[in-house]
Structure 1
Amino acid sequence: MTNTPLQLEQKLAWVYLINLVFYLIPLFITPYSSWQIILILAVLVPFIYCYFWTYRCNFRSAYRPIIAMLVLATVVTPINPGSISLFTFASFFIGFFYPIRVSVFCWFGVVVLLFLLNYLNQFNNLYFPLYGTLLVLGVGMLGVAERRRYHHKLKEQQSAQEISTLATMVERERIARDLHDIMGHSLSSIALKAELAEKLLAKQEYQLATTQLQELGQIARESLSQIRHTVCDYKHKGLASCITQLCHSLRDKGIYVELIGELPKLPARAESQLGLILTELVNNILRHSSASQCSITFREQENTLFVEVKDNASASPFIEGNGLTGIRERLDSLGGHFSYNLEQGYAFTVSLPLQGATV
């Protein structure tokens, strides 16, 4: 198991910057000169740089942008008490990257800094340090909660990886056991009969040697047939297993998946082809769609199976590529049809006759 470095996800990084509105509120309340307004706004440029710098850091290097943010907040405080907002960003990152004992020590240092700034700048009351302390501790605990959520998610991913690895090992052992059971006896028999035929030929007992060679050929053909059936079983995982894997892939990308209806019972060939068709449709969603929701619906009507794969992405006309062409060819061989609708997202429908699907 590898140790993944603790690192923030950047998915909602821009959204969190909305908290900087509290930094700008004093501009609408207190009169400032032009150079003060320019300075207040100018501080945001290096601060935002440090903010995104933190997202690229792990716990070993995060202290650098955190210290830089604290310095910027300290420098701008004499002009703009809204710098409390900047201190809260730093406290969140402290809570996320460092253990609780280290975080508490750092928060205490930030709180002391707030009271010191209040004293040095001779603010009229204790609003700045008291309100700042409340925010530093509150937002800092949010960082701790985010850290725990991250660790929980990481453990789930590692557990899933371990389960997948274990399943792979079990499958390999099963394949090795099956091949040993199939081929072990057959190869021993082939070797024995080949050796016996060689001895009979040496004694010029051609009739008996021919019999042994015929039996040898029969054993080889039976072994080949057994191997083909075994390989076919390995390739055919079943529709239920295929659907489960596709749902996992969609959820891993953050797409909500809903399965509607019951999985049909189909002949092996039709089930295999349907699995390949659904794999192609889901892969198109994973590669090209911006959907956040997806549904896979199974419905039987008048001896026909209808399967619909639908998502909520903004749909636009497209040119069919090799993937959709391949889907039509697979369905043609089974007597099925393929269609799609772009009115409300992408909706692809596969219809497959239940009678005659045993081809």
Structure 2
Amino acid sequence: MSRQDRRDALTNAERAAVEAQRAAASEAREAALLERNRIARELHDVLGHSLTGIAMQLDLADALATRGRSEEANSVVLRTRSIAVDSVTQMRAAVLALRDDSQSLSEALKTLADNEAVPFTCTGEARPATPDVTHALLRATQEALANAAKHAPGATRRIDLGYTADAVHLVVTNSAAATGHTPADRGWTGLGLTAMRERIAVLGGTVRACPTDSGGWAVEARIPG
């Protein structure tokens, strides 16, 4: 190889290295942008719905107070505080879920089940899920478990994940409130279920929440793929 050929080869190698660095930097910027968008979307879901609910409740409290119905107004204020506390809990759960995409869907749900001390089953042939699917179903499970603890104190809860040929199915169930505990008003007709349905719908899935024959509650999510 002549001296000129060696110089040309070195120049080409340097040019290729520069192009590779540029491509890597571009991919890193794109990944960071996607991650920021994902975080923004999740925080928008949590904060948007909760702040809307808080504003509506405070308007109601103001209207009741204006009419001299102070006891009812105080009850609404207490309920509003509960919404705010729940929002903080959901925010922390969302951030925790966003931090770690390294686990598979079944692993993430098993970890959550262990942390919550609830049974977990996985049936069917497990297959890889996209980070968006894993995150959406993990958040749905977190919300369903929290809702069960709030509205059916002392109830037993469980998580069931199933794979079929064309979809992944998630079912979170709870029994009726334990004896001696007063169940709160069922909240899955409100903002929490709406946020869950919207998050799953983006992925082409559906969510159903319904009472069980035994007096408990079930939240079912299905995402095709």
- The alignment's TM-score, normalised by the length of structure 1, stands at 0.28
Compare the two structures and name the one with the higher strand fraction: 2
The alignment's TM-score, normalised by the length of structure 2, stands at 0.44
| Higher RCO (CA-CA < 8 Å; seq separation 6+) | 2
